Amino acid sequence: MADESDDVPVTGKVREKLVESKQAWAREGRLLTGQTYPLGGTATRERLPPGQTLVTDWPVLDLGVQPDVAPDRWRLRLEGLVQAPLRLTLDEFMALPQAELVNDIHCVTQWSRYDNRWQGVSARHLVELARPKEEARFVSFTSYDGYTTNVPLADFARDEVLLAHSWEGRPLTRQHGGPVRVVIPHLYFWKSPKWVTRIELLRDDRPGFWEVRGYHNYGDPWLEERYG
């Protein structure tokens, strides 16, 4: 149920030409190399996925819309097929056990960045608090800008997945998804939504914004699952 905390200022508008060009990438198979680095018997892969270029900056990518979520208005809902739905303010979120993780991130637009240091709350801890029902299999994310994406519940509950409020020791900026964003490092970064406000556990999969526009439903960078 929406309340006044869900109504936050938003600047910009969806850049339709950007969306169209990204859909054209999917139709054309742009950036695909045909290489894959599957997980081998030694549980090791190449660190840089196929077709990726290493960068040292952190490119800003969004749909053209940036919500301005004041800390006192941010809410996180974890609901759906759970026994104990969560609705957290930022203060309540920050009072949960905190974790610090370092990982690499890989964007479908071909850049990767190594050794990002995040601070936040473990996704697994949130899932344990919400107590998923037996039939829960998938997760749907919704952000304050209206963006959606999806992952299997098993992927969201992995040890390395975080709901991050800080990067490199500083609070996440608005342009990078602050106050809180999802970080799922083993998938392409469009699966790690900025400005997250709702996490819904589902029995059936629900493809999100890019998944219904030609992008892969799972998004493993080492298998080059850029497009569906």
Tell me the residue ranges of DSSP E strands in the chain. Answer: 10-12, 53-54, 65-67, 75-80, 86-89, 99-106, 111-122, 138-143, 148-152, 162-167, 170-171, 181-183, 196-202
For the chain, what is the largest distance between any 2 Cα atoms, rounded to a whole number of angstroms? 52
Q: What is the mean pLDDT of residues 124-136?
A: 98
Q: Which domains are seen in the chain, by residue range?
A: 13-223 (3.90.420.10)
Residue 124 host element (H or E): helix 123-130
The set of residues, in sequence order, having a beta carbon less than 8 Å from that of 174 and lying 6+ positions away, is: 66, 67, 68, 69
Q: Look up the pTM and report it.
A: 0.93
The predicted pLDDT at position 4 comes to 45
Confidence of residue 1 (pLDDT cuts 50, 70, 90): very low
pLDDT for 49-108, tens place per residue?
999 999 999 999 888 888 999 999 999 999 999 999 999 999 999 999 999 999 999 999
Higher pLDDT, 23 or 63: 23
